[in-house]
Homo-oligomer: A and B are copies of this chain.
Amino acid sequence: MEHGPLSDLQTPALLLDESRMRRNIQRLETHVSGKGALLRPHLKTAKSVDVAKVLLAGGTGPATVSTLAEAEVFAAAGVRDIVYAVGITPQKLRRVAEIREKGCDLSVILDSVEQARAVSEASRQAGKSIPALIELDCDGHRSGIDPGDPVLVEVGRILDEGAAELRGVLTHAGESYEVSGHAAHSDFAERERRAAVLAAETLRSAGLPCPVVSVGSTPTAHAAQDLTGVSEVRAGVYVFFDLFQAGIGVCTIDDIALSVLTTVVGHQREKGWIITDAGWMALSQDKGTSRQRVDQGLGLVCDASGKPYSDLIVVKANQEHGIVSVRPGSSSALPELPVGALLRILPVHACATAGNFGVYNVLPAGSGVSLKTWQRFSGW
C-alpha cells in the first residue's frame, strides 16, 4: 500500500484538504457578496492563523470569534475587526479593553440591561468606548432579545447614552441546523433577516444608531435569497464542512475538507469490528447525525486516499479506540484491513474534531509531495 506522505504521520492525525477548503471558502464568499453583504467568517472552527490568512481577505478581517483567546491570537496576527460572539460578562471586559488597546476593533455582544451597564461602566473606566452589538433571538435557539421586546430600546439607550458604543444588532438561527434542504434553510435565513432588520428599524426609530445588522449560520448563509437591510453575514463550519452539514444538504460528502487519519490496531472478526487508534479523544463524541436520515455514527470511514468505503462507519468509541463496522442494516461487506492499515475518518462535526488537535496536516494538491503543517490552538 502506498500512502505517500501520510505514511510518515503518527496516528491519529488531523488532515486538511486545502483545495476543498479553498473551494468552500470561495463558494460562500461568492454567494454573500453577490447578495450585497459582507462576509464575517467565524474563526472558532479553524482556530488557526494559517487558515485565517486564506479565509480573510487580506488577512485583516472582518472576523467572528467564540473566545477571547481567539481574539487575542488573531488580533496579534493582524486581524483588525473582530466580533466576540458570546454574551459578554463583566469579568471579561478588561481583556476586551486590552485587545482594543492594541489596535483591534473588537466588539462584544449582549442581551440584557445589566450587561449594557457593565460595558458602559468598563468603557468609562477605560476612557474609551467599547462597541457592543445587541444579540437578538430569531428562532428560540439560545440567547438574545426578542426583536419586538421593548427592552431592546432600553439596552440600546444605555449603550448609546453611556460611555459605550451601540454598534448594531446580531442574530444567529441555530435552529436552522435542525431542518434539511435549501428551501427550509432559506426560510430560516429570512427569519434571521426579518428579526435583525426589524430590531435595527426599531432602534433607529428611537433615534439610536444601528450601523451593523449581522446575521448568520452556515445553513442560512448558503441559502439566503435576500439580504436587504443586512450589512454582514457570519458562518464558521463551512470552511471545512462535515457529515452533519452534508446530512442537512448544505454540502456534499465530497466537500468535507477535514478527516482524521487513523491506523487499524486490531479486529474482532466474529463481531464484524475493525479496531482503530482514533477514539473519541480524536473524533469527538458528537453524534449529531443520529437525528438525521443517515446516522453516520462517530464518522464515515474512507481509505487512505479519502474514498469512502460503502456503509463503513465508526459505530462506537472509547478514549483511544474507535470501533469501525458496517452500518446497521447494510449488506456491504467488511473490508479486509490488516493491523497497520491507514484509514481516514470524515468528522460528524468539524468544530469538535478539529478542537482535539494541535496541528493540521495539509494535504498537497498533487501526489508524492510533502505535507504542510499548520498550527492550531485551543483554550480560553
Residues of A whose CB lies within 8 Å of any CB of B are 7, 10-13, 44, 66-68, 86-92, 95, 110-112, 114-115, 118, 137, 140, 142-143, 174, 263-268, 271, 275, 277, 280-282, 284-287, 318-321, 323, 338-340, 351-352, 355-358, 378-380
Contacts and interface: CB of A to CB of B under 8 A. Distances in A.
A321 B143 contact: yes
Contacts of A352: 280-281, 285, 319
- Residue from the set A265, A358, A378 with the largest chain B CB neighbour count within 10 Å: A265
Contacts of A174: 318
A351 B275 contact: no
Contacts of A285: 284-287, 352
Contacts of A115: 266, 339
Given A277-B89, A285-B286, A142 B339 contact: no
B111 A266 contact: yes
Given A11-B91, A87-B277, A89-B264, 8 more contacts: A7-B91, A12-B380, A13-B380, A66-B281, A86-B265, A89-B277, A142-B321, A281-B378
B319 A10 contact: no
A21 to B, nearest CB: 19
A89 B340 contact: yes
Nearest to A277: B86
A286 B317 CA distance: 11
Contacts of A282: 380
26 contacts: A10-B91, A10-B380, A11-B91, A66-B281, A86-B277, A87-B265, A87-B339, A88-B265, A89-B264, A89-B339, A89-B340, A90-B339, A114-B338, A114-B340, A118-B340, A140-B271, A142-B275, A143-B265, A143-B266, A143-B275, A174-B318, A281-B352, A284-B285, A285-B287, A357-B379, A358-B378
